[in-house]
Chains A and B, each alone.
Chain A
Amino acid sequence: MHPQRKQRLQIIVFVLIAVAIAAGLLLYALRENINLFYPPADIAAGKVAVGQQIRAGGMVREGSVERSEQNLQVRFVVTDYAADLVVNYDGILPDMFAENAGVVVAGKLTENGEFEASEVLAKHDENYMPPEVAEALEQSGGSSEAEY
């Protein structure tokens, strides 16, 4: 390779490495802010102040969803299998909302340690299969749901 071209190549490689390191440090410094939500374990550990607008995320615990008879009020438990968070929400849940499925809730932590959600988003998992296969899996005892 021509020495001049070799030098240009070296400069490019050097600049790329420098930019990658800079980006890495930046993302490392901002890592808490880039996370879209807090897992319930972080909230239980007291990392979130009461009344602060945040998002929490995890799995909806099986059998925990309680719907009100009169209005849209709904109450469920979000878990990361290390800690639980009780969520209250007054509104329409997304179609994909289900027990044992991922969820991200936006809102505030209240004095009594429960979460007042203003928005509930369903977190979809990466598993795709036809309905017959999911049914067969369920009957054979295998779980058709993703691990959190």
Chain B
Amino acid sequence: MRLSRVYVSIITIRHRGLGKATYNLLMWSWFHKFGSPRWFYDFSTRVLPWLAVLCAAFLLVGVVWALAIAPSDYKQGNSFRIFYIHVPTAVISLVGYYVMAIAGAVSLIWRMKLADIVMKEAAPIGALLTFVALFSGAVWGKPTWGTWWVWDARVTSMLILFFLYVGVIALHKAFDNPEQSGKACAVLSLVGTVNIPIIYKSVDWWYSLHQPATIKFTEESTIHPDMFWPFLVITTGFYLLYAVALIANTRLGILQREYRTQWVRSRLQE
């Protein structure tokens, strides 16, 4: 519906000459097009299989390289390999929170249905990633630190992240009206973004048991290249897995939300 409105206004403006309104329309028309659930559904139908194949390839190569080929650590031995699951899931659980919050902001500002669906579908994926990061951290912590759990700044703020994700899921389920739940979830996810830089910097700001970052962007990483390359491959695989999961979930969300419309019925009959 939005799409047709855009085209109608482009036609009317052509008769009045090019002005600021035209510029705005051209600027924003791609944005509104992308916001159409129907366009996203058809686009993702074409893209998703390729993305899934690419993801499987990266994960397969990454897992074999990280678990079988990469050398063991001089101190931790083979238990260091938990790093290859722990770090990517932890990093993507933070990035995924921003994905959810930005989608929430877009749905609040532009009242865009697709953004609302993306926000709600990102929450369970993020919660799962955070859980895997916490769990793998506990499994690593027992032989390394000597304890499963410690209430230091990093671990505690990660637990808060998990509760924020679970909170968004719960809030979403608490409303019957998708528009109301959308607003509430968007506000909660936006407020929760404050936690992300705290998690990231927690090991630098406070004394914690968790060590500072190994992979650094501004200075040299403190990991041997033979261990770093498999990490890069498996992390790319995890990012692709996140994308595949989010797109697949969003498609399901679109079908659930739009099942009454003509286009969904025609797609499902195919």
Query: Which A residues fall within an 8 A CB radius of B?
Result: 1, 5, 8-9, 12, 15-16, 19-20, 23, 27, 31, 34-39, 57, 93-97, 102, 104, 119-135, 144, 146
Counting CB contacts under 8 A, is B75 at the interface?
Answer: yes
Chain A contact surface mostly: mixed
Q: Once the chains are docked, how many angstroms separate the CA of A31 from the CA of B208?
A: 12
Q: Which residues from chain A contact B151 at a C-beta distance below 8 Å? A: 36
Q: Are B144 and A124 in contact (CB under 8 A)?
A: yes
Query: Which B residues fall within an 8 A CB radius of A?
Result: 24, 71-76, 80, 83, 105, 108-110, 143-147, 150-153, 187, 190-191, 193-195, 198, 205-209, 211-214, 222-224, 226-227
Q: Once the chains are docked, how many angstroms separate the CA of A40 from the CA of B24?
A: 62
Q: Which residues from chain B contact A135 at a C-beta distance below 8 Å? A: 74
Q: Which residues from chain B contact A127 at a C-beta distance below 8 Å? A: 214, 222-223
Q: Which residues from chain A contact B224 at a C-beta distance below 8 Å? A: 128-130, 133
Q: Which residues from chain B contact A120 at a C-beta distance below 8 Å? A: 146
Supplied contacts A16-B190, A37-B207, A126-B213, 16 more A-B pairs, CB within 8 Å: A1-B24, A9-B109, A27-B205, A35-B153, A35-B206, A96-B145, A97-B146, A102-B211, A104-B209, A120-B146, A124-B211, A126-B211, A126-B212, A128-B80, A129-B227, A144-B74
Q: Are B207 and A35 in contact (CB under 8 A)?
A: yes
Q: Are B145 and A94 in contact (CB under 8 A)?
A: yes
Q: Are B145 and A123 in contact (CB under 8 A)?
A: yes
Q: Once the chains are docked, how many angstroms separate the CA of A137 from the CA of B198?
A: 35
Q: Are B108 and A8 in contact (CB under 8 A)?
A: yes
Residue A124 contacts which of B74, B110, B145, B226 (CB distance < 8 angstroms)?
Answer: B145
Given A36-B207, A121-B150, A121-B209, the answer on whether A133 and B74 have CB atoms closer than 8 Å is yes
Q: Which residues from chain B contact A34 at a C-beta distance below 8 Å? A: 153, 206
Q: Once the chains are docked, how many angstroms separate the CA of A125 from the CA of B151?
A: 18
